[in-house]
Amino acid sequence: MIESRRERLASVSTRLPPVVWSVVIGGSVLNLSLMWLFVVEHKRLHDLLTAILACLLGLLVFLLAVMDFPFRGEFSVGPDSFELVYDQLMKQ
């Protein structure tokens, strides 16, 4: 039980490896720069497509940043599920 507690506490401070962040950021920059290779007749349409892709990539980076700390912050996993399982196991 003590070892399980240590593993849980260690998982709170673990983070995604820096190589994952570099691949995501590098891929985002590469995708946005490749957008300018597309030939589109209307510049506004091209700008709109680039903005949509930039928003999508920004949201994905935000999601990755939030999921990097699953037990901290506003979007974290709460203790409710753990308490429910604990209560159900103790009733048996």
Tens of pLDDT along 20-71? 889 999 999 999 899 888 888 899 999 999 999 999 999 999 988 888 877 7
Please state the pTM of the whole predicted model.
0.64
User: What's the per-residue H, E or C state across 12-50?
Assistant: HHCCCCHHHHHHHHHHHHHHHHHHHHCCCCCHHHHHHHH
